[in-house]
Chains A and B, each alone.
Chain A
Amino acid sequence: MIINHPLLGPRDASEFTYLGDASLIDRPDWQDENAAEAYYEYGYLRDNPAGEHQELWYHEAGDRSWLVVTRNTLTHEISKVEMARDVARARGRSK
């Protein structure tokens, strides 16, 4: 697979390590009343869809940026690559 890095252009997927579903960006509030339940779901449960999947890749052998890659889990086709930082900020995170 080739991941089209927003800053560096097309890079081989073997330069990256894979973390998982991009919902891991949305860390629950630890002070929330239901924090224990929310952290269980955040830490352990996954949608695991067959089809389009947003996921976190880390450019370990490159510029060490985190990316959000939209990839089809049935065909391995990559339709979108974004900087994870931009995605997180768009969702209201401070960094």
Chain B
Amino acid sequence: MRYSGFRVIKEALTGHKGWKPVWREPEPKAHYDIVVIGGGGHGLATAHYLSKVYGHRNVAVVEKGWIGGGNVGRNTTIVRSNYMLDGNEPFYEFSMKLWEGLEQDLNYNAMMSQRGIINLFHTDGQRDAYTRRGNAMILNGADAELLDADQVRKEHPYLNFDDARFPIKGGLVQRRAGTARHDAVAWGFARSADLHGVDIIQNCEVTGLRIENGKCLGVETTKGFIGANKVGCAVAGSSSRVMGMAGMRLPIESHVLQAFVSEGLKPVLPSVITFGAGHFYVSQSDKGGLVFGGDIDGYNTYAQRGNLPVVEDVCEGGIALMPMIGRARLLRMWGGVMDMSMDGSPIIDRTPVEGLYFNGGWCYGGFKATPASGHCFAHLLAKDEPHPVATAYRLDRFQTGRMIDEKGVGNQPNLH
């Protein structure tokens, strides 16, 4: 069923009896061309692009729980392409362009809102760094704009400009950035993949990978063995556990990132804002809640919950940046498990096992990458060669010294 304004009116006049479930609940077939492990944003996006762009219809997505129940439903919904390094920025700008056409491509309302993002800076050194980053963005076809303090004050008068320690000196703006409704992104990809013939198999946990003579033949699951010519793993957060079934150790640690939402407020924040002197980023949802987050907790964990010191740190950052939110009450907080890689950048690559492909290491930047990650992983699975914007995301780059380290902090995952 195609969604349209006409359809909404027709259903309204006929008692809304025509709406149908938007994806099937099939039982797994014995064999598929391609099986994607993980029904999150990246796995579903991979299935969408595999079926729609690369013409592979004999595809299954297997998901342990329900689709969209992991990190795609746990992030702070921010979409942007303000990276600096050559290995990253073309990929994220490719993603940004896919976001801009996503709702038309999927025929699904993902509530994509290009409200912009501003990264504030507080010192001359930070201004230099953001100038450089803005130039790198422009060179890669993205948009960037450097604002001074007066220009920022005009757009965000409520910020704490004259803080004695961290006065706001300006900000780097990307106007095309914004937010998207994360659940709708997962559902939109799922619906489109299903319409193009992909089987989405929920409540089907992968318990093993069948590998013989160095070749992956399929996945063992709680619903039995499912054979496949190719298996793609897109389970960021649990990558080490799944790839461990193939005997691989990854350049990844799993960490928890917490996110928060306040009670609903009248519209106060026109864009996404990041604090440059602490780790705090915030936007306002269409329902009015302030959606914000900060640092990861910083220790290995698979528990989808964090601890109080980080909650305190995030809230201190928020109050330092915008004292006006001091009286807003925290409504909900939650945690998601991140693949923290050794250089802060992701991996989309083949593995030493023939027929087994890996997508992971997204750190806490996976949501904005969802469409490009799916597109590039689908390209890799379909053509056995990396997409031109994802050639740097190699699994062996730590061995060959080709790290993509935006922050330059080295192999310490909790600092990325």
Flag if B241 contacts A50 (CB, 8 Å).
yes
Q: How many A-B residue pairs have CB under 8 A?
A: 68
Q: Which of B330-384 contact A (CB under 8 A)?
A: 342
Contacts of B299 in A (CB 8 A): 13, 18, 55, 71
Contacts of A80 in B (CB 8 A): none
Contact A46 B253, CB 8 Å, known A55-B300, A75-B303: yes
Select one of A40, A71, A74 contacting B398, CB under 8 A: A40
Select one of B241, B251, B302, B307 contacting A44, CB under 8 A: B251
Closest Cβ neighbor of B252 among chain A residues: A48
Q: What 1/0 flags go to A62-95 for Cβ under 8 Å of B? A: 0000000001011110000000000000000000
Flag if A1 contacts B307 (CB, 8 Å).
yes
Name, among A47, A50, A75, the residue most crowded by chain B CB atoms within 10 Å (CB to CB). Answer: A50
Flag if A13 contacts B307 (CB, 8 Å).
yes
Contacts of B101 in A (CB 8 A): none
Flag if B303 contacts A46 (CB, 8 Å).
no
Contact A47 B249, CB 8 Å, known A1-B307, A20-B413, A40-B398: yes
A85 to B398, CA, bound (A): 29
A44 to B252, CA, bound (A): 8
Residue B414, interface by CB 8 Å: yes
Flag if B302 contacts A74 (CB, 8 Å).
yes
Contact A45 B250, CB 8 Å, known A14-B309, A20-B413: yes
Residue B116, interface by CB 8 Å: no
Residue A43, interface by CB 8 Å: yes
Closest Cβ neighbor of A42 among chain B residues: B411
| Minimal beta-carbon separation of B238 from chain A (angstroms) | 8
A45 to B250, CA, bound (A): 5
A42 to B103, CA, bound (A): 45
Flag if A44 contacts B411 (CB, 8 Å).
yes
| Minimal beta-carbon separation of B228 from chain A (angstroms) | 25
Flag if A46 contacts B252 (CB, 8 Å).
yes
Q: Which of B224-268 contact A (CB under 8 A)?
A: 238, 240-241, 249-254
Q: Which of A1-30 contact B (CB under 8 A)?
A: 1, 12-14, 17-21
| Minimal beta-carbon separation of A79 from chain B (angstroms) | 15
Contacts of A43 in B (CB 8 A): 342, 398, 411
Name, among B253, B300, B301, B413, the residue most crowded by chain A CB atoms within 10 Å (CB to CB). Answer: B300
Residue A59, interface by CB 8 Å: no
Closest 5 CB pairs between A and B? A48-B240, A14-B309, A44-B398, A45-B249, A50-B302
Given A20-B300, A20-B414, A47-B240; 18 other pairs, CB 8 A cutoff:
A14-B309, A18-B298, A20-B253, A20-B412, A21-B300, A43-B411, A44-B251, A44-B399, A45-B249, A46-B240, A46-B249, A46-B252, A46-B253, A48-B250, A48-B252, A73-B301, A73-B302, A74-B301
